[in-house]
Chains A and B, each alone.
Chain A
Amino acid sequence: MDDLYREQIIDRYQNPLFKGELDPNDISFEDSNPLCGDEIRIDLRIDEHDLVQEAVFSGHGCAISQASADLLMERIQGKSLDEAKSLTKEDILEMLGIELGPVRLKCALLSLKVLKAGVYGLGEADDDLVE
């Protein structure tokens, strides 16, 4: 009945492929969406060529935020940090394959925000990162 909750999103929410934590890691960052309590932490291991060797996320939240994080982790495996930096809101929406209103957009973009803040080595995640 519902594009927003199509099979792939429910499946990634319930059976994520890239959920976990890395210790030690090269990059680790976490942030939350205070409005709905979603929390995402992303841990990365980076090899000597600046490629993402391993990327996982942890945290909790709605189906959209968790599925989006899982798809994002899959997307950046083996990719360069520059490629991770160049990802945009449109990339996330394309991965999810759905249209989102402004409120749920925040859920979908939380993981990208966390990823970028981590990769850029910022102190805090800013909404501008995903605009």
Chain B
Amino acid sequence: MCGPTGIGILYGRRSLLEEMPPFLGGGDMIKRVELRTFLPNELPHKFEAGTPSIAEAIGFGAAVDYLNNIGLDDIARQEHIIISYALERLEEIPGIKVYGPEAEQKGGVASFTLEGVHPHDVSQILDRDGVAVRAGHHCAMPLHMKLNLTATTRASFYLYNTIEEVDRLVDAIYKVKKIFRA
């Protein structure tokens, strides 16, 4: 969301949250304390014990305003334009396999493998070419095991990426192929 790290939003139905006991004690989550009992504070304070991440919360608010200002529909449209082009360009590279559904059903991410080259080697060479991607299991190890993959390389696109950057990615992948004679 372009905001600070370590903060996010959790949505919960009020009636359920009210039934739930606090999970952590600390400042702000109590309304009244007696020797043997205490009364928890109102929502959402009941679940926010101690000093909150103030700077992060303010930064997160700014990120929300920023994205709303651009418009979520426009961001989704931009992601779709880029991922459609990226899938088209990636799939024309010999030896590449891109995983996941067609562009219509996809967000801005493309995970792939390149025949004969380990995903970590791919990402390292791309990195040295100024293209930052991720290699590994992407928090989906069971899926990688099911697909019988050690790991994949993943390019992620967002509202700030451009078509030219997709071309740079593709050029860099050809460089990987050249180095590995793959």
Contact = CB atoms under 8 A, between A and B. Distances in A.
A62 B136 contact: no
Contacts of A1: 128, 175, 179
Interface string B48-59: 000000000000
A4 B128 CA distance: 10
Nearest to A39: B150
Interface in A6-37: 10, 14, 35-37
Contacts of B150: 36-37, 60-61
Given A36-B136, A36-B151, A5 B179 contact: yes
Given A2-B128, A5-B125, A37-B150, A62 B181 contact: no
Interface in B137-165: 150-151
Nearest to A64: B121
Size class of the contact patch on chain B: 10 to 19
A89 interface: no
Contacts, number: 42
B120 to A, nearest CB: 5
A63 interface: yes
Contact of B118 (A2, A4, A35, A63): A63
Given A2-B125, A2-B128, A62 B179 contact: no
Nearest to B178: A1
B41 interface: no
A98 to B, nearest CB: 11
Nearest to A35: B136
A37 B151 contact: yes
Contacts of A64: 121
B118 A14 contact: no
Contact of A63 (B121, B128, B136): B121
B17 to A, nearest CB: 37
B145 to A, nearest CB: 10
Interface of A: 1-2, 4-5, 10, 14, 35-37, 60-64, 104, 107
